[in-house]
Structure 1
Amino acid sequence: MQFHTFKKACAAVYPSIVQNGIVWFWPNTDPQYKDILMKKKPPYIPEIDDPSFTKSIGNRDIPYGYEVLIENLMDPAHVPEPGGVNTFYAPCVFYSSFTLPPKQGNGAASSAGTKKESSIQKRMVLVFICIPVSPGKSRLIWTFPRNFGVWIDKVVPRWMFHIGQNLILDSDLYLLHVEERKIADVGPTQWQKACFVPTKSDAVVVGFRKWLNKYAGGQVDWRGKFSGALSPTPPREQLMDRYWTHVVNCSSCNAAYKGLNVLEVVLQVISISLIGILAAAKQSMTSIVVKTAMVSMAVLCFAASKWLSHFIYNIFHYHDYNHAFI
């Protein structure tokens, strides 16, 4: 029997390529696109493959759309870097590169008594890949290569960097979620009626919106897969969830999450065991010093397990961000 003639027994083959450690594919199985990636390759970021730069990639599912995600990352008011280079590789990659100024008095003393500055410029690159998932949902892949402090990435585990990066994403997550719904109320092509963009720094955001209006009618064309309507806003704890949007897909954060949960249980077991041993021991055979030490250790382990439980929840599940208290 010729099984390849049955559609249910066949898998769709998409043109694909691995570049910068990321798998890219062309979402069309039509034979005419078989060699499309030979002509239209994804944007190449040389710093990601440069061994003199750090290489750490993260990702998170975001509860607002591709359009709002990109314009927020593009806004120079967020990270003003004089002398930096910002490039938008349409439709989904935003690249920002800047050089750090040398520190005053930083250099090596020569035999002549003068200081010789380092010939290597300290450079850092911010790369954001913004992927539309569905109306009101997107996925962000980020990497921040730099050619200084490379040793830090070899010592500090990746999940610790993700703590700060997730906190930044959470800082305006709710506001952007609401903004998207305000824009949807007036219509994506009339977005300026819902936004106030009077400054020169807003030119980048305005330019992106004009590009989006010109080539996509102001929003992603879902080709009938979705109606375009935004889903109702979920409870805040679900909206700002970190576990299902990041931790389960991040090998470093997932390993840390499991390890810290084990440590929490171990601390509880030690605390209960110490109390049990103390209760079972004969009063005459246990000195006051030993009793005090065991009780103190039991209390300390119990308190540590409670603190760790709170830490795990805040870092890997839900960390509220209220601008009123910042």
Structure 2
Amino acid sequence: MPSTKMLNVRIQSLPCFEQEGMVWIWPGDDPPKATIPSLLPPSGFTVHAEIVMELPVEHGLLLDNLLDLAHAPFTHTSTFAKGWSVPSLVKFLTPASGLQGYWDPYPIDMEFRPPCMVLSTIGISKPGKLEGKSTQQCSTHLHQLHVCLPSSRNKTRLLYRMSLDFAPWLKHVPLMHLLWSHFAEKVLNEDLRLVLGQQERMINGANVWNWPVSYDKLGVRYRLWRDTVERGSERLPFSNQAESGS
């Protein structure tokens, strides 16, 4: 402030730059990477919404929830999973050593991209309707990017980007961004009912990750990666994939 004597003031500058609508900052001592994996949607998709939200939940719990869509027909009954039947068996199929895969019988491809991003592509025929058993069997798709940034203790800043490979004219409809924002908040509020309950049990000492099931495969691999990072290990699991951005 002008009235304050500037005694021994030091300012630390951090490397940062913008790429594809995202600002990247390196707070550590290591130099920035020469290249950053692209976060743009696949070819043929148009970005329709970019939303920033502050959520009262630990970022790892939010990531874990985003990586587990087996709960979709039970939880998202008024949004994208409306009308989905409840299958007798849910599988998540993934390479033996990888951080991406696809759901069966849901037409959803999904990837965890370190350190805090989830990318997903959902095949749809009409909003809230299930069309095929794989994204390849669907003619239209919804692509999502979730970036879960820990903002403070048990709080997350979510950067959300939604894209469609159909109806590009929707982007030019007046006030359409308000509808997308409402829809995104509605989906997240459906999730928060589950996640906040998990967080409360964690605060009270429960291990909410104690009993993984077969379709938790991607969530388990995320936890393995995170545990390795928190231990300070130099060799991270799935590091080859993370570096290639595949």
- The reply to whether TM is greater than 0.5 is yes
Contact 1:127 1:142 (8 Å CA) reproduced? yes
Instruction: Give 1:133 shift.
Output: 1.3
> What SS is found at the alignment partner of 2:18?
strand
Match of 1:73 in 2: 66
Match of 1:20 in 2: 20
The letter for the 2-side match of 1:19 is: Q
Query: CA deviation digits over 1:63-91, x for unaligned, max 9?
Result: 01011110011102144674532111111
Q: 1:142 to 1:184 in 2, by over 3 A?
A: same
> Structure 1 CA distance, aligned partners of 2:182 and 2:149?
22
Equivalent residue in structure 2 for 1:45, among 39, 43, 46 = 39
> Structure 1 CA distance, aligned partners of 2:113 and 2:19?
15
Q: 1:99 to 1:167 in 2, by over 3 A?
A: closer
| Structure with greater strand percent | 2
Q: 1:91 to 1:168 in 2, by over 3 A?
A: same
> Structure 1 CA distance, aligned partners of 2:151 and 2:119?
21
Identity of aligned residues (%): 20
> Structure 1 CA distance, aligned partners of 2:198 and 2:114?
23
Is 2:110 the counterpart of 1:86? yes
Match of 1:127 in 2: 145
Q: 1:178 to 1:124 in 2, by over 3 A?
A: closer
The letter for the 2-side match of 1:16 is: C
The letter for the 2-side match of 1:164 is: F
Is 2:149 the counterpart of 1:146? no
Is 2:222 the counterpart of 1:208? yes
| TM-score, normalised relative to structure 1 | 0.49
Q: 1:101 to 1:51 in 2, by over 3 A?
A: closer
| TM-score, normalised relative to structure 2 | 0.63
Instruction: Give 1:6 shift.
Output: 6.3
The letter for the 2-side match of 1:92 is: C
Contact 2:49 2:181 (8 Å CA) reproduced? no
Equivalent residue in structure 1 for 2:121, among 97, 100, 105 = 97
Q: 1:98 to 1:52 in 2, by over 3 A?
A: closer
The letter for the 1-side match of 2:205 is: V
Alignment of 1:1-326 (within 5 A): 7-8=8-9, 10-28=10-28, 30=29, 33=31, 36-38=32-34, 41=36, 43-47=37-41, 53-79=46-72, 82-100=106-124, 122-157=140-175, 158-186=177-205, 190-193=207-210, 196-198=211-213, 200-216=214-230
Query: CA deviation digits over 1:214-238, x for unaligned, max 9?
Result: 3225xxxxxxxxxxxxxxxxxxxxx
> What SS is found at the alignment partner of 2:227?
helix
> Structure 2 CA distance, aligned partners of 1:46 and 1:54?
9
Structure ranking higher on relative contact order (CA contacts 8 Å, 6+ apart): 2
What is the root-mean-square deviation of aligned Cα atoms in Å?
3.0
> What SS is found at the alignment partner of 2:33?
helix
| Structure with greater helix percent | 1
> What SS is found at the alignment partner of 1:178?
helix
> Structure 1 CA distance, aligned partners of 2:142 and 2:66?
16
> Structure 2 CA distance, aligned partners of 1:153 and 1:66?
30
Contact 2:17 2:24 (8 Å CA) reproduced? yes
> Structure 1 CA distance, aligned partners of 2:141 and 2:190?
26
